[in-house]
């Protein structure tokens, strides 16, 4: 259903009311949560969303509770006008939900009710970003409660986030279907990310070494190798040689990000990595 006009809501009551109206007409609703500074990766998720429900809501909220002390919350790129224009010209967005922090955390950040996710939240990216995924769980719960969608669309670019949100939805029996979309990449293989703008020109040229290193591990798995630690360490070495400071390269079970036993087929395995390059912390995985 193509929207007559995209509406923008800053309040929970406003967006909830719009969704209530649609549901009263038996229309289904999908939410695409973002932190804004939209790129083609986000816009592909929006198009995917439009194929799974009658009405598309995109949220734009830079969530303070998922940033650690000393992380980039303050300087995270905020481009609300460009974002609204891009969503409007997508032609498929019915509503933008762009709340102020007071709408999302009415009792303040310090006194907020929080989600504590299972132990996977403290591994991989969670090991270098303490509290990050609990902040993601907290805001996703609040966004679901505000928008009350039938479906939620997330990118596989943030694979650990996807697995943890799927788990939260299943464990809390939240009445929402989680749908994932593929990672959209630049021509040289670098996954699109709002944080790529922290790279200078020279770093940007080197950045595709991250997807290349992860793909090299994936190919080794496909040839039958199961010496996981050696493969992970050699990818980390390749990244250091390319000027990165890797946080981790890890081979995990794709289904739940658990530690693999070595008996899995290559298709059941996923290679994930995170590494700093200059001022940017880049993440990627081999799901797409
Ligand atoms: P963000 O604005 O970075 O919080 O991302 C919002 C949503 O877009 C998340 O579900 C991300 O996984 C997804 N996303 C970010 N980058 C990409 C990309 N390059 N391709 C596909 N989805 C992406």
Residues 133-160: pLDDT tens digits? Answer: 999 999 999 999 999 999 999 999 999 9
Q: The whole model's pTM is what?
A: 0.97
Distance 224 CA to ligand 1 centre (A): 31
Q: What band does 5 get if pLDDT is binned at 50, 70 and 90? A: confident
Distance 157 CA to ligand 1 centre (A): 6
β-sheet bridge partners, residue 281: 276
Tell me the CA distances in angstroms from 206 to 203, 243, 244, one per residue in order. Answer: 5, 8, 9
Q: Supply the residue whose CA is at minimum distance from atom 7 of ligand 1.
A: 34
Q: What band does 10 get if pLDDT is binned at 50, 70 and 90? A: very high
30 neighbors 57 (Cβ within 8 angstroms): yes
Task: Write down the mean pLDDT value for the chain.
Answer: 97
* Annotation marks residue 122 as catalytic: no
Ligand 1 atom having least distance to the Cα of 44:
21
Q: Supply the residue whose CA is at minimum distance from atom 18 of ligand 1.
A: 41
Mutate to test the pocket of ligand 1, among 34, 169, 281 (most ligand atoms within 8 A of CB): 34
- What is the CB < 6 Å shell around ligand 1? 34-35, 41-42, 45, 154-155, 157-158, 181, 183-184, 191-194
Ligand 1 atom having least distance to the Cα of 194:
3
- Output the DSSP codes for 146-204: HH--SEEEEEGGGHHHHHHHHHHHHHTT-S-EEEEEPPPB-TTSPBP-GGGGGS-HHHH
Half-sphere exposure of 202 (CA within 13 A, CB side): 5
* pLDDT surpassing 90 at residue 105: yes
Distance 153 CA to ligand 1 centre (A): 10
């Amino acid at each position: 259903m193509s929207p007559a006009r995209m509406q923008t809501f800053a309040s929970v009551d406003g967006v909830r009311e719009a969704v209530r109206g649609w549901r009263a007409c038996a229309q289904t609703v999908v939410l695409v949560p973002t932190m804004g500074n939209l790129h083609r990766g986000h816009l592909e998720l929006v198009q995917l969303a439009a194929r799974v429900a009658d009405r598309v809501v995109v949220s734009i909220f830079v969530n303070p509770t998922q940033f650690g002390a000393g992380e980039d919350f303050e300087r995270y790129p905020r481009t609300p006008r460009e974002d609204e224009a891009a969503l409007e010209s997508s032609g498929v967005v019915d509503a933008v939900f762009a709340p102020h922090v007071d709408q999302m955390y009415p009792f303040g950040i310090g006194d907020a009710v929080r989600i504590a996710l299972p132990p996977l939240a403290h591994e991989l990216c969670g090991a270098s970003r303490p509290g990050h995924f609990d902040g993601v769980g907290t805001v996703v719960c609040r966004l679901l409660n505000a928008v009350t969608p039938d479906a939620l669309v997330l990118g596989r670019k943030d694979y650990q986030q996807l697995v943890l949100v799927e788990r939260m939805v299943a464990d809390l029996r939240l009445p929402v279907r989680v749908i994932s979309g593929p990672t959209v990449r630049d021509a040289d293989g670098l996954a699109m990310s709002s944080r790529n703008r922290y790279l200078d020109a020279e770093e940007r040229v080197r950045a595709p070494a991250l997807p290349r290193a992860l793909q090299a591990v994936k190919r080794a798995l496909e040839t039958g190798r199961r010496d996981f630690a050696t493969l992970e360490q050699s990818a980390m070495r390749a990244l250091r040689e390319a000027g990165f400071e890797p946080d981790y390269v890890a081979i995990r079970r794709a289904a739940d990000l658990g530690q693999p036993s070595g008996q899995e087929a290559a298709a059941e395995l996923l290679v994930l990595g995170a590494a700093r390059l200059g001022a940017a912390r880049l993440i990627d995985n081999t799901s797409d």
